[in-house]
Amino acid sequence: MKSKNQLSQEAFRFEGKMPLSQAIPLGLQHVLAMFVGNLTPLLIITGACGLAGNEFADLQITLLQNAMLVAGLVTLVQLFPLGPIGGGVPIIMGTSSGFIGVFNSVATSMGGGLTAYGAMMGASILGGLFETVLGFFLKPLRRFFPSVVTGTVVLSIGLSLISVGVASFGGGSGVADFGSVENLLLAVFVLVVILAVKHTCKGFLGSSAILVGIIAGYIAAGIMGLVLPTTGVTADGVEFTKSWVLNWDKVAEAQWFAIPDLVPVDIVFDLRAILPVMIMFIVTAVETVGDISGVMMGGLDREATDKELSGGVACDGMGSTFAAFFGVLPNTSFSQNVGLVSMTKVVNRFALATGAIFLVLCGLVPKLGALVSMMPQAVLGGAAVMMFSSIVMSGIQLVTHDPLTPRNLSIVSVALGLGYGIGANTGILAQAPQAIQLIFGGSGIVPAALVAILLNIVLPKETQEEKTAA
């Protein structure tokens, strides 16, 4: 008979056997760390496509419901591989925030609406299959993606997302009360709560700081609705409901249980979406390699094997294709859970699987999706600014993982300069061939990634003496 102490040690073994009473809270901790991040990209992109209004309320709830279901199922495949699909690694999967910048530009170039969103799903289906193939051939490709390249890519992702987070911070682009004092104060309040919890609490609560901040934002918005006017009047004399007001009708009208819809949005195949998204899948494959390497070193104190990396990236790809058929943005490994594993050393597969099953159950409850979908953009913005800025810091950590030699500095500076510059000034490509506009227009992530990969190939490597001198 094992003692309680012996049982607790099973949490630090991937295939360890542990009681359900211990596994459930450890699994829920992982779910709480990623829950908001799993749904945030959908809220942002449906908003960018104009699919967040009353007319599309049911669709948005369905997509959020599907996002929870897909994240749970893909996580289970990552934990318990199906043949070559899945790495058998302690990773939690969920909706990728890395695609927000590219999808935002697709929404702009295609004019938003259901067609643009359907084009994103079509591109995700093809891109996921492409990443799956990359996973199978990962071993010979690894040398093209050192930390200076992956770090530059992650940096460009974070930089491209900050403006999106700030737009939500003000209440959401296009709303009548954008930048109002109420929206700004609500967003600042959420940000302050997140910082306070993150740096004063430890363990379970500290790792769930984003969730705590958003719950506090909901409470604050509810109190504001009781003491402040909930409507305003535009300069044209049109009355509107302020963007921070909680719409509880969404929750009341949603069902308690429903089977998720397959293909809730018609799938469209359009080159304006396919080309930039396909390149973005190379970027997310690089991210996944970094996450799996990080979680194996941080949780199990060893390097990831080629089989684990290959299966993990293949799961990333097939999971994204699977997600697209449910109207969900691409799925990928969650960096915040990698950090949680590194901090707690809890890598038990059964514990993580209980969290994945909880996500699946949440995907069957539309009321939960409705509760999330009514989140004020200002509340989302307070959390998003923190999340997206942390992506920038992760990029900096990756870039500085190796010595900043003149070669590495050139790769980072040129890739970021061109990538971020083109992303901020897309008009520079107005006279370029359409193919170039399709690939590089709208987002700085794709040009930054391509330039970093290219420079890493063509610039001569330093000698050992030059690396030591740096």
* pLDDT tens-digit map of 269-284: 988 888 888 888 887 8
pLDDT of residue 6: 43
pLDDT of residue 4: 39
Six-digit token string for 271:
């080159």
Mean pLDDT of the 295-307 span: 77
Six-digit token string for 40:
């945030």
51: which DSSP letter? -
- In sequence order, the β-bridge partners of residue 241 are 231
Mean pLDDT of the 58-80 span: 90
d(CA 151, CA 182): 37
- Between 97-106, 251-260, 337-346, the lowest mean confidence (pLDDT) is in 337-346
333: helix, coil or strand?
A: strand
Using the predicted structure, report yes or no on whether residue 82 has a pLDDT greater than 80. yes
Six-digit token string for 365:
């409850």
Q: How confident is the model at residue 69 (pLDDT cuts 50, 70, 90)?
A: very high
* pLDDT tens-digit map of 148-194: 887 787 777 777 777 777 888 888 777 777 878 888 898 999 989 98
Q: Is 159 exposed, middle or buried (0-12, 13-18, 19+ CB in 10 A)?
A: buried
Q: Are 331 and 93 in contact (CB under 8 A)?
A: yes
Phi/psi at 99 (5° precision): -90, -5
pLDDT of residue 434: 66
d(CA 143, CA 145): 5
Q: Which residue has the higher pLDDT, 446 or 81?
A: 81
d(CA 291, CA 284): 10
Mean pLDDT of the 239-261 span: 79
- Between 21-30, 111-120, 125-134, 209-218, the lowest mean confidence (pLDDT) is in 21-30
Q: Is 302 exposed, middle or buried (0-12, 13-18, 19+ CB in 10 A)?
A: exposed
Name the nearest CA neighbour of 221 among 262, 189, 253, 180. 189
Q: How far is CA 183 from CA 113, 174, 229, in A?
A: 26, 13, 13
Check: pTM over 0.75? Answer yes or no.
Answer: no
pLDDT of residue 2: 44
What does the mean pLDDT of the chain come to?
A: 80
Q: What residue spans define the domains of the chain?
A: 19-459
- Between 114-128, 197-211, 231-245, 295-309, the lowest mean confidence (pLDDT) is in 197-211
Amino acid at 183: N
Using the predicted structure, report yes or no on whether residue 90 has a pLDDT greater than 80. yes
Q: Are 401 and 145 in contact (CB under 8 A)?
A: no
82: which DSSP letter? B
85: helix, coil or strand?
A: strand
Q: How confident is the model at residue 438 (pLDDT cuts 50, 70, 90)?
A: low
d(CA 266, CA 97): 22
pLDDT of residue 203: 62
